[in-house]
Amino acid sequence: MEFYGRSPLFDEKEKATMLYAERVTRGAAAIRAGSIEELRKFYDDGQIVELTMVVCLANFTNRFNDATRAVPDLGV
């Protein structure tokens, strides 16, 4: 189990969200219906789509920056 799954610092919604984000990141094609049903306890379909898009965009950005060795301008 992931560290956040055992942590009392996160509630069930946060744990389900992080687990889903991890599953999308590690292999979205392997996500099962049960994962989506778990999210439906906390999110409606539109929110699940939005959450998925945010996770995918973060993954795209990370992979792009890694591949091009880009250093993000953090405005610091």
DSSP symbols for 11-22: -HHHHHHHHHHH
- Domain total of the chain: 1
Domain contains 74: no
Higher confidence at residue 28 or residue 12?
A: 12
For the packed helices 45-68 and 12-27, what is the interaxial angle rounded to 10 degrees?
Answer: 50
Domain contains 46: yes
Domain contains 73: no
- CATH number (domain holding residue 21): 1.20.1290.10
Give the global pTM. 0.81
Boundaries of domain holding 18 = 3-68
The amino acid at 4:
Y
Domain contains 59: yes
1 pLDDT tier (thresholds 50, 70, 90): low
Q: pLDDT value at position 76? A: 76
Q: pLDDT value at position 72? A: 80
Domain contains 15: yes
Domain contains 76: no
